[in-house]
Amino acid sequence: MSGSRSIHSRHPGWYESGAGQNHHRPSGAGSYRGQQQTFQSLVASASGEFANPLNRALNNFNVLGETRTDLSSGTLQATGNAPDLGIEGDGFFVVQTQTGPVYTRNGNFQISTVGQLLTQKGDPVLGDQGPITVPSGPLSISADGTVSVNGALVDKIRLVELAPGTSPVALGASYYSAPDKALQPATHSSVRQGMLEASNVNPVTAVVDLLAIQRRAEMLERAMSAFYSTFNKVAANDLPHV
């Protein structure tokens, strides 16, 4: 090959098949974030002559470069459960785990028997004063994250936003990590009590994308079969004369 270039594309290619499967989670999975693929387009020849099957295959199909988390918001759905929290905007809750703080948009929280605000995994949700503990009584959480019980101030939920261009690393269980330098105050986010954010993946679009990936995989398989057939023929006819 005499030339190559890189581009960003939403065009599904053969190597997208593995990443495309990440979308196929239950559409109701709370705050599940979809994955966006970045592709590298390979140019097999600078002359514009793509005569052999391998060159045609390389130029007709893009190769997956990486996947990035789709940070677009899902819709907020009312639950009526006081510890359930949704976020309007691009912010993340901060959660303390055994390996350090992580970030999540899944506000399906619970209150432990000792009054700690926890994730479904049992990890403490952090406020300005550390792990949040609430006394018994009616729980109220305002849009800026202020937590109060019976009108008495308890703490303020810690929210952070990520610097533009930051792609958090998925850790599982709706947890993400991000570099400390990418964290910013959540000036454009607010909390909605008694609501949860739904997945931002459109199940219909995801199924259509998966079908398109399957068709392109079949086409590339045929192209590669043609290449190997030509390669074997050249090897059989020409190599003995070298």
More confident position, 17 or 96? 96
**pLDDT (tens digit, 9 = 90+) per residue, 6-45?**
333 333 333 333 344 444 344 444 555 555 555 555 555 5
CB 178 within 8 A of CB 227: no
- Of 187, 177, 191, 186, which is closest to residue 101 (Cα–Cα)? 177
What pLDDT, on the 0 to 100 scale, is given for residue 222?
81
Query: 46: exposed, middle or buried (C-beta count within 10 Å: 0-12, 13-18, 19+)?
Result: exposed
Going by pLDDT thresholds of 50, 70 and 90, the confidence category of residue 94 is very high
More confident position, 144 or 40? 144
Going by the DSSP 8-state scheme, the letter that residue 32 receives in this structure is P
Going by pLDDT thresholds of 50, 70 and 90, the confidence category of residue 208 is confident
Residue 189 has pLDDT above 80, yes or no: yes
Which amino acid, residue 18? Answer: G
Strand partners, 176: 103, 170
C-alpha gyration radius of the chain: 25
More confident position, 183 or 57? 183
CB 3 within 8 A of CB 19: no
**pLDDT (tens digit, 9 = 90+) per residue, 148-176?**
999 999 999 999 999 998 889 989 889 99
Residue 125 to residue 104: CA distance in whole angstroms: 10
Locate all alpha helices (DSSP H) within the chain, ordered by sequence: 17-20, 53-60, 203-238
Measured CA to CA in angstroms, residue 15 lies from 39, 124, 239 at distances of: 9, 39, 32
